[in-house]
Structure 1
Amino acid sequence: MLLLRDVAKSDLPGLQRLAAVLNTVNLPNDEKALESIIDTSVRSFAGRIRDPAEREYLFVLEDLRTGTLVGTSMIIAQHGTREAPHVFLEVSKRQTYSATVDKHFEHTVLSIAYNYDGPTEIGGLVVDPELRGQGKPGKQLSFVRFLFIGLHRNWFRDTVLAELLPPLLPNGKSLLWEALGKKFTGMTYLEADRLSRQNKEFIKELFPASDIYATLFPDRTQKVIGRVGPETEGVKKMLERIGFRYVERIDPFDGGPHFEAKTEDVSLIRALRKCKVLEKDLEHDMEISLVAVERKDPDNRFRCVKTPTRIDGGTICLPGWAREMLGVQPGDRVAVIPFE
């Protein structure tokens, strides 16, 4: 039985367990960093961060049978401000030709750019390796972010960004960073990416301001520009199905491609419905949906489950177990998006 909910301060040990297994940039194996991520999320869900653009929301997936956290996902309300710009590399093509030697070339060119009025970003998707493939936990963690954005549309930007992971080396290193960033900063990829979360000044000062010809990189580095890694291919296809497209931009650290969509055009957000819960139990499985409810409980303001549903007009029929997990009674209102 898997429950999606907002992170709580008491979840620190569970996040540390996940981080110890995975130790990703999104979920660093660092107690202080995790405490900061949790604190920002708790204050965001509670509305204690006054400006909605400064909020960051962390969702966790809990296995209620064991009480363990098995995954996370995140929404950054605005990625890119005057104080902390969104940094990326624009990818373009440039052609050259010499009539004298009758030679024609097409070069991939990278140009560093900054966005000071950035989009909403979805990220932080982490799933316990032992649970992958069981109940589609990654899909639940991904979809819940769109449900929440649709529920509070005016808190978020008109564009949604997803930065996907590129193919990485077996040791976790980035081919692009080894060929570019490391040579200009003297840092490892993880060191640079973590520092950029607090201060991006070093990027502007150390990265080359001029265009960079990827032709100068090793062949295998050139081949991964704009590509996703094999484990991210499923996420890419899912995003494309709901309205995202590659926008010819990549992350300056790992080279991962940027996919974007207009918020109003994301099919899941457009499909969101608000329904009143009926008293009778669902007897026959119908459509599979994500169903969420918001609560006034300061320790758990948001709950969401994947469940069979039957929707009729503005009402919804749920199994008894789903009503119990959500903590809803007949007559309560819930938010719903399709899952399958």
Structure 2
Amino acid sequence: MTDERLMSKKKPAYPISERLDVYLGQYNRKIEIPIFYDDLLRFSGSVVVYDNDDEDTLWVRVYYSDTERVEIDQSLKKVYSILHSDGSNRINPYLNVDAVDYCTFGNSKPFRIKIRNILNDNFTYFYVKKTDASRVYGLELEHMLSPYNLNFLVYKDTLIEEHIAGIPGDVFIKDFLPKCSESEKAQLAKEFVKFNERCMIRLLGDMRSYNYVIVPVIDFDHVVYQIRAIDFDQQCFEGKLKVYRPQFFKENYLMVELVRSKLQKHSVNQYKVEERSIVAKRILSSGNRIKKLREICKRDDISNKENIDLLKMQIYDLTLDINFKKCQKMGEILDLALDFVKRNYEGVSMRQIIERKF
């Protein structure tokens, strides 16, 4: 397991480049919204939000003056309509903003908005964050290369993300994992291997247990577990390759032990190959969209020289691909990593892929 020293103390937020801004508009990610992140910072006060065990969740529930609350509520309902419906105000009378929560932990410091349908009490969440190019690249790559589609909007310095439902990994490991059957634990081990591989391939870092969720799905007579990333702040920034492999975080120790106890080495290799093949197929099927994103990312500044130099040499040591040593941008490393996986899928036998270290 690793510790906090693997991670930079503070990751800076990177602005959206002109090329990325055009890309977002082309694929309907850039849409005008009636409220900005900074507007939500004008709260009058807050109270701590506790969980069912009376422990601090690191979220605070904020409140606004009466005059500002009316305008903020209407704007948040409009954002919900843009994100989930046709963007009109027709559904506003049936919506209520139940809560606006603010998280003081981590880089993004998001607002979590709880919207309830007053006709049937169904509710959902969405998040309001400061725009960061790393986060946007992470969301787009998750949308194209993972099994899950993502819905988000960008407007100037504000990012709107839909809520990803599931049990937070740390909560699942503590409260649910001990109650799982042996077959469920084996299936969880398989999913963690695939999740670990997917994060490394597309350079998504910092997948500690509280940065992903575990989603139980009923399939006929048993439960199937899926693992989904929920935090994309550490896309293509850190210099140490271990940061992009969830297995090296101490918070995931019990998941790693699950893999060791439930899966043979041959099975682990098999699941790695399966995930690489699936990602390669998604790269091919994404066509021009992922090609455009990769070209934009290759020219963008989303990390520092120290991290770039460290990561490119670590990946070169594993792959012996001389092209990694030539990289000057983090996006170039990402592009080569994705191309490496695609080339393996297209032209290398399964045995050769298994035997590769990267």
Give the TM-score, by structure 2 length.
Answer: 0.24
| TM-score under structure 1 length normalisation | 0.25
